[in-house]
Amino acid sequence: MIKLLFQRSAQSGYGTYLTSMLISGFLVGYGVDRLASTTPLFSLTFTAIGLFGGLYRLSQVLGQPDPPRSQP
């Protein structure tokens, strides 16, 4: 039971890669838009870059084999 809880808690962190990259891309783009006084061009661009970066990182993490577990 405890092994299952630890396994599920490790897997629940995978979604944070995508959401954190997406949100940080938007915030950087929004900041550049505010500084440059432009339309939401940079917000959309950096959000797209964050989305693709998050998907790339997520595919890397999910593509790695699980490390061998020691049996007590």
Express as a percent the part of the chain with pLDDT over 70: 71
At 3-62, the pLDDT tens digits run 555 555 556 677 787 888 899 999 999 999 999 988 889 999 999 999 998 888 888 877
Give the pLDDT band of residue 1 (cuts 50, 70, 90).
low
pTM for this predicted structure: 0.69
Domain residue ranges in the chain: 38-63
Q: What is the dihedral of CA 18, 20, 21, 27, to 10 degrees?
A: 140
Count H helices, E strands: the chain? Answer: 3, 0
At 29-46, the pLDDT tens digits run 999 999 998 888 999 999
